[in-house]
Structure 1
Amino acid sequence: MASPASSTLAHFCRLTGHTSVRSVAVKRPPATAALPARRWYISRSTGNTAGIQFRLDERTAHSSLDLFKKDTGVIYRMLGLDPTRVQDNPERFRDWAVVFGSQEITGGRHYWEVTVERSQEFRLGVAEAQMARDDCVGTNATSWVFGYAQRKWSAMTGNKMVPVRLVGKPERVGVLLDYEAGLLALVDTERRTIVHSIRGRFRGPLCPAFGLWDGELLTHSGLEEPQSLV
């Protein structure tokens, strides 16, 4: 049973988006800078119209994250496992509740969906496969994500953030990646339309990326891109 002091610290860590309770000094991400709101249109590039098939990669999962449903889902545990009891490897995220998808992307267009109805704080998108494991997705120039927190959506990259409006809280959202065009899009799965896109400069292998600080996410990969987005 956790002591009152550890429970208080864990609660503080959760509010800051940090899951490690190994020390009193809580690492916080640098303050995000606001960007002018933008919308980008997906251009057609050569490549697959079917999304990659992937599972979540346990080797990368932070110790506060548990995988389930044959590694297609992830659930957040506030205290998580004792980091000393988790297999140590250079692929694992050490400070932030992040996990990568198991497949690397080096080109083409790919589409997948994520059931988000059981979480109130998460990030989803892509990151460079070699992204530093002591960073959080959305806070550096090697990750591009859409985040949901405090009932608001944001597009995040390079520690900069732009609000994404008129989305609400759907049960499920889509992610469309066009590697050659340098675009990542958040998709309304009911209307089959692009809600918002992020422009990026992709220079190496990317992985689907997920951050989670509440509840659970379930991924759905290997899907064909909706015809309305072509």
Structure 2
Amino acid sequence: MEEMREKGDAEEKTRDAPKGGTEVGVETERSSSLITQADHTLKEADHARFLQTRTDTDLSDSLCPRVSMATASSQILIPEINLNDTFDTFALDFTREKKMLESLDYLTAPAPPAIREELSTASYDTITVHWTSDDEFCVVSYELQYAIFTSQANVISLCNSADSWMIVPNIKQNHYTVHGLQCGTRYMFIVKAINQAGSRSSAPGRLKTNSQPFKLDPKSAHRKLKVSHDNLTVEREETSSKKAQSQDRFTSQGNYGVTGNVYIDSGRHYWEALIGGSSWFAVGVAYKSAPKHEWVGKNSASWVLSRCNSSWVARHNGKDVSVEPSAHPRRVGVLLDYDSGSLSFYDAVASQHLHTFHVDFVQPVCPVFNLWNRCLTVLSGLPIPDNLEASDCRE
């Protein structure tokens, strides 16, 4: 009896085996297919085909949006692959990759620097440009570009022409001194901040060099004139009679003059004469070849603005043009543009234009000062005033 029972159990197990084996085989085959397809999908090099891949469990519905977000990063991210016990679903977990992307610190181009015109300084042939940057610690270097600025009208042409600019690369500090510039000239500057991600440029800044400095030349002074130790002030040694001064102030014997110690043959220059109570004087320019002490405009080699008591005249080659200032100027400004052929005089305090000579200069000229009473002081090495830069005062 026992043997028959054991035989019956064996037959029953034999009958059940095909059914159970079939279910396991189907699950195994299905799992193998999912894993194989997932493996092929993850190895797919074509991004479009990778996103279009579908599985029997609608893999793309959950895979596409997550993979699209992941591939936006330049890094290679490998997601977690989770298979459940029944192998019915397939999922990609991007939690780890999301945290990695959120923690990335992307490098961007630095903010545009700002030129500090109020901190910048100049001499007659140099300009020291200062600037600031909000991203100073991420800037690798700066690049300085500059060009001559003639008028507002040429700004667009300057910006469109790379050949017009001089470039100073690889500056490590936030200031730079440019040498070898033209005196009395305006320049436009642009500063570019650079790092590995790119560069950004400042707004243009306009700065100008000063005029060429000079002093009085004691060797050129008339024997009745006294030049100070600093060679900046000239004083007339008073005679016993003002009548004598009145008689000889415009004669060849009475031209009490002194020149500056510089000869000018190009560029733009500005200087002033500070009038120390004098009522008889003349200021202007003369050719280097002009006869000594004949610098009062009575010949073709000199151009001056002269005051004689209450009378003001502009004089050249013996011809006088009456000038009527609004008041007696205490500082006379002289603007010489040698290349353009103009010599202008101004009341430096009231900013009043007094007279302009138009001259085709053919020789170097030097500043000249004539004095019949009291004293005057030379102020040189000045920047050209902004109001003179902006206006055209030619007659």
- TM-score, normalising length from structure 2? 0.42
Q: 1:177 touches 1:183 (CA, 8 Å); kept in 2? A: yes
Give, in angstroms, the shift of residue 95 of structure 1.
5.6
Residue of 321, 324, 328 corresponding to 1:162:
321
Structure 2 partner of 1:217: 376
Q: 1:72-83 residue pairs with structure 2 within 5 A?
A: 72-79=232-239
Unaligned runs of 5+ in 1: 1-43, 81-92
Structure 2 residue 364 is matched with structure 1 residue 205 = yes
Cα gap change, 1:136 to 1:226, in 2 (>3 Å): closer
Structure 1 partner of 2:344: 185
Q: 2:276 touches 2:377 (CA, 8 Å); kept in 1? A: no
2:381 aligned counterpart, secondary structure: strand
Structure 2 partner of 1:68: 228
2:387 aligned counterpart, secondary structure: helix
Residue of 177, 183, 196 corresponding to 1:48:
183
Deviation track 1:33-60 (CA, whole Å, cap 9, x = no partner) reads xxxxxxxxxxx79x53222211100111
Deviation track 1:81-104 (CA, whole Å, cap 9, x = no partner) reads xxxxxxxxxxxx976201000011
Q: 1:146-161 residue pairs with structure 2 within 5 A?
A: 146-161=305-320
1:222 aligned counterpart, secondary structure: coil
Structure 2 partner of 1:116: 275
Distance in 2, matches of 1:102 and 1:71, equals 10
Q: 1:129-148 residue pairs with structure 2 within 5 A?
A: 129-133=288-292, 135-148=294-307
Q: 1:84-123 residue pairs with structure 2 within 5 A?
A: 96-123=255-282
Give, in angstroms, the shift of residue 192 of structure 1.
3.0
Distance in 2, matches of 1:98 and 1:201, equals 24
Q: 1:122 touches 1:148 (CA, 8 Å); kept in 2? A: yes
Give the structure with the higher percent helix: 2
Q: CA RMSD in A?
A: 2.3
Q: 1:124 touches 1:211 (CA, 8 Å); kept in 2? A: yes
Larger relative contact order (C-alpha < 8 A, sep ≥ 6)?
1
Distance in 1, matches of 2:264 and 2:280, equals 26
Give, in angstroms, the shift of residue 228 of structure 1.
1.1
Distance in 2, matches of 1:63 and 1:167, equals 34
Structure 1 ranges of 4+ moved more than 3 A:
none
Unaligned runs of 5+ in 2: 1-149, 152-181, 185-209, 241-251, 390-395
Give, in angstroms, the shift of residue 124 of structure 1.
0.1
In our comparison, the structure showing a higher alpha carbon Rg is 2
